[in-house]
Chains A and B, each alone.
Chain A
Amino acid sequence: MNNPQYPTARKAGLVVQEVPDEVLVYDLDTNKAHCLNKTAAAVWRFCDGKSSVPEIAKFLSSEMGTKVDDDLVWLAIDQLNDSSLLEAKAEPKFQGQSRRDAIRKIGIASMIALPIVASLVAPKSAMASTSCRCDNGTNTDCILQGTCPTTCNVGPNVCV
């Protein structure tokens, strides 16, 4: 998104799956999973690097069958930007209170669902969801994974 008026959806390093009315995106670089609702997914799809925000609003209006304000598109773009789902970072149009105010304002006026990008981080390793074990030979360090506590704190050989 070198020119924020012409946002480009990121494609590299992403795994994408569509489910009814939503799009799932898994970021291989950050191990983050994102769920784009229908509105956010549509905006993301229209971010082709050639269409301006007003043009995207127009495409969206046509697809949704109702007038869509530019600010609603900006709300989606800000979230896509926050989630690293656009080619390049740009200054957000709405931040903090300004975003909350925009959500309130657009939400009242909009006939379509506000764009939502929900995100969660996956653990880096399956080890992260397992218990730790202590090495009771020469020290008391937990050795199974990096996220284990540094000392054995449950029983003589098991740290959880």
Chain B
Amino acid sequence: MLELGNSEEHPFGEVRVSEGENVKFAFEAYGVSVSVAADGADLGKKLFEVANRAMLGKCRALDPSLVRAEHGFLVSSRKDGTYDFTSVGEYTTGAGELRETLELFVRILRIKVSQFAKNWVFVHAGVVSWGGKAIIIPGDSGSGKTTLVAECVKRGALYYSDEYAVLSPDGLVHPFARALSITNGGRKWSEDGIPVEKLGGRAATEPIEVGAVVLTKYNSGARWNPERLTPGNGIIEVIPHTIPMTINADFSLQVLKSALSRAIILKGVRGEASDLAIELFSFSNKELTTLN
């Protein structure tokens, strides 16, 4: 039996080796239960470590022999040093390098947690705060939200996330302050992100009210001149980025209403992220600090 402990560093508790070198562990994050099986102790340990990092310490150990996890993953090694990966009930892929396999595991783990989180609504968005209010920047992967968040953080904004706005039913947005996923040499790996401190910024630790939502797309040479949307029109613009919307629409819509109905919602094209960060800083000073 491989003991991984039950410390803050290793919150999953023990990882059991059942048959041969097979390893199985289970955990819960944001109310979602997950089990992971691997065919080697070292592999199990690596999977455990990346899962722990990916969930930013929000995991709680479950006994894999007692829990019937909602989501399962299987990872096994081949003799040629590559790995097979299975997201149970969905698909299998094979012959990936370890790094790629771990990356895929983390990516799908995040997707599962963000889709099925209990009592949380994950919105695909960057989040920073200035003046005690959050600015949410919804956007899909590759939309430039990390770049914009990084520029805001460099100018003094408090960092919440470059990936998810994590909303609670009371409408507050909670930190999901992972290392920023900044492209490195053309290959972007979420586990190779840049800690916010390296940008001279600070990560938030407390939930906060939403002051503004910025709906924007990059357009070379564009000048930020947004229109202000009504709360209803703003919320429907955020819905496509709201991950559990198609799974739990009722709850998602309630939480979006709670979080955004008093926020200022701006929509417009932007030029360079650094220019918009300056605009947002000025906007925050003028508008968000006076919001009740």
Residue numbers of A with Cβ under 8 A of B are: 15, 17, 19-24, 26, 28, 31, 33-37, 118-131, 133, 135-138, 143-144, 154-155, 157-158, 160
Contact = CB atoms under 8 A, between A and B. Distances in A.
A34 B249 CA distance: 13
B208 to A, nearest CB: 21
B2 interface: no
Interface in B78-112: 82, 91, 93-97, 100, 103-104, 107-108, 111
B253 A26 contact: yes
Contact of A160 (B91, B93, B141, B243): B141
Contact of A122 (B91, B114, B188, B242): B242
B285 interface: no
B19 interface: no
Nearest to B112: A126
B243 A24 contact: no
B245 A122 contact: yes
Interface of B: 82, 91, 93-97, 100, 103-104, 107-108, 111, 114-115, 124, 140-142, 186-188, 230-233, 235-237, 239-246, 249-250, 253-254, 257, 261
A124 B243 CA distance: 9
B249 A28 contact: yes
A80 to B, nearest CB: 15
B90 to A, nearest CB: 10
A133 B235 contact: no
Contacts of A23: 232
A118 B103 CA distance: 38
Given A118-B236, A126-B115, A20 B140 contact: no
B107 A143 contact: no
B111 A160 contact: no
Contacts of A22: 230-233
A33 B95 contact: no
A144 B106 CA distance: 13
A120 B236 contact: yes
**Which of A22, A23, A122, A158 has most chain B Cβ within 10 Å?**
A122
Given A133-B104, A135-B93, A158-B187, A24 B249 contact: no
Nearest to B234: A35
Contact of B111 (A15, A37, A120, A127): A127
Contact of A137 (B94, B104, B239): B94
Given A126-B115, A136-B95, A155-B187, A19 B232 contact: yes
B70 to A, nearest CB: 15
A38 B242 CA distance: 25
A17 B242 CA distance: 16
A24 B235 contact: yes
26 contacts: A17-B253, A19-B257, A20-B231, A22-B233, A24-B235, A24-B257, A31-B245, A36-B232, A119-B236, A120-B239, A120-B240, A122-B242, A126-B115, A129-B124, A129-B241, A130-B107, A130-B111, A133-B103, A133-B107, A135-B93, A135-B96, A143-B91, A143-B93, A154-B186, A155-B186, A160-B142
A122 B246 contact: yes
A145 to B, nearest CB: 10
A160 B189 CA distance: 12
A137 B239 CA distance: 36
Contacts of B108: 144
Contact of B141 (A26, A129, A136): A129
**Which of B95, B236, B243, B257 has most chain A Cβ within 10 Å?**
B236
A19 B115 contact: no
Contact of A157 (B100, B232, B240, B250): B100
A121 B239 CA distance: 8
